[in-house]
Amino acid sequence: MTTAVERFLKYVSYDTQSDEAYDTCPSTKKQLLLANELKRELEEMGASDVRMSKYGYLFARIPDNTDSTSAPQEAEASFSTASAHGASDVGQKATIPALGFISHIDTAPSLTGTNVKPRIVQAYDGKDIVLNAEKQIVMKVSEFPFLADLKGQDLIVTDGTTLLGADDKAGVAEIMTMAEYFLSHPEIPHGEICIGFTPDEEIGRGADRFDVKDFGAAVAYTVDGGPIGEIEYENFNAASGKVRIQGASIHPGDAKLKMKNAILIGMEFQSLLPVFENPMYTEGYEGFYHLDEMSGNVEEAQLNYIIRDHDHEKFEQKKKFFAEAADFLNRKYGKGTVIAEVTDSYYNMKEKIEPCMYLIDTAKEAMTACGIEPEVVPIRGGTDGARLSYMGLPCPNLCTGGYNYHGKYEFIPVDSLQKTAEILVEIGKQFAALAE
């Protein structure tokens, strides 16, 4: 069998950055190179119904090898009831719902994914890690104090010029390793397991063309989280905010009471937002306004924001305040000077997961069985699982083991890659065991 580490090191050699500048799906054709390789590997290892849509969504299936009946959506309620009371209490073997595992193949546009050069730091000594001596790029313990907790482990790091791609090629490698395990060990009982790899998650489109019915699972996990042991079923409510400002460019020598500097008005808009509701000052369940991009000149400017909060009421208040800031500036500078548009992106999946908390309990038990301490944490971001949960596929998020995603300091411990693959296998076993 191929290890999760071997798979991961292979997959990060594929440049799969998505790009929101393009409206196609996938947004970049290079994502299909990895998708086709995964399709080939799944077929080679004996997975069933391996298929890829014209949009680059790759699905496959590992058939149920137990005596029970695996079923999609309608199986969820009976499984939940049987899990709560025990199969013997209901007088029959519980139905095993078809279980899904999902990861995305694209990497973030924030830093290049071309020519990734991973390196394994063996038996990490707990000190600063020189990623690139020539460019003097160093990952410092003073900036990332959690590094001290990883002393003695082997770490896969970048050379400081690219991201690593653990988000989410680690998840892809772990799912593929799980798949090969079950397909290579038909004596191990499991229900139906559905596998899904999606494009364009990093630009918010991963679930856009995800066919839940065709996927076939009743419940699923995205494998797209952070450090080993994390389980997530609460995420931000999310919206994007676009502010367009129409100024008036006048020669600065003759500008008094005539010029409207769009850039300065944009800066003023930012100054109206609460200072401490900013990502650099928030943690846990605290929401924020994040100015992600600003461009323009005196005549016109644009500011792009993301707006986040776990609490739905606070989320609505943030969107309202955003609009009120624009209204204030229009009263000051004239109607039509500032146009603010807010578009919801996704919502907190908590309310969709709470009716089937056996998903969380099963993940906890699987981690414990693998010697990992589970920790339920809120996602300070989003996941395809949030949108899929609202599309009828309850889908909490599991760890991949990685750290410092989307940048040159991204890394993942070797042991975390291997352990997460083991956890996925154990979840498959736990589902079958609950139905006995």
Q: Which two tokens stand for residue 358?
A: 């056996």
Euclidean distance between CA atoms 415 and 405, whole angstroms: 18
Euclidean distance between CA atoms 52 and 39, whole angstroms: 8
Euclidean distance between CA atoms 32 and 22, whole angstroms: 15
Phi, psi (5° rounding) for residue 77? -65, -45
6 is catalytic: no
Facing residues of 220 across strands? 100
Query: Cα 52 to the chain's mean position, in Å?
Result: 21
Determine which one of 41, 106, 192, 277 is catalytic: 106
DSSP 8-class letter at 403? B
Dihedral class, residue 23 (left if φ above 0, else alpha if ψ from -120 to 50, else beta)? alpha
DSSP 8-class letter at 433? H
Provide the 10 A C-beta neighbour count for residue 324.
12
Helix (H, G, I), strand (E, B) or coil at 381: coil
Determine which one of 41, 174, 200, 201 is catalytic: 201
Helix (H, G, I), strand (E, B) or coil at 203: helix
Residue type, 159: D
Q: Which two tokens stand for residue 304?
A: 């792009």
Euclidean distance between CA atoms 336 and 323, whole angstroms: 13
Euclidean distance between CA atoms 106 and 20, whole angstroms: 12
- Residue numbers belonging to the annotated binding site for Zn(2+): 104, 167, 202, 224, 406
Residue type, 298: V
Euclidean distance between CA atoms 315 and 320, whole angstroms: 9
Do 219 and 359 form a contact (C-beta atoms < 8 A)?
yes
Do 378 and 310 form a contact (C-beta atoms < 8 A)?
yes
CA distances 228 to 71, 170, 213, 412, 425, Å, are 30, 12, 31, 10, 15
Query: Cα 124 to the chain's mean position, in Å?
Result: 27
Cβ-proximal residues to 39 (8 Å cutoff; 6+ apart), any chain:
50, 52, 58
230 is catalytic: no
Of 353, 376, 388, the C-alpha closest to 100 is 388
Q: Cite the active site residues.
A: 106, 201
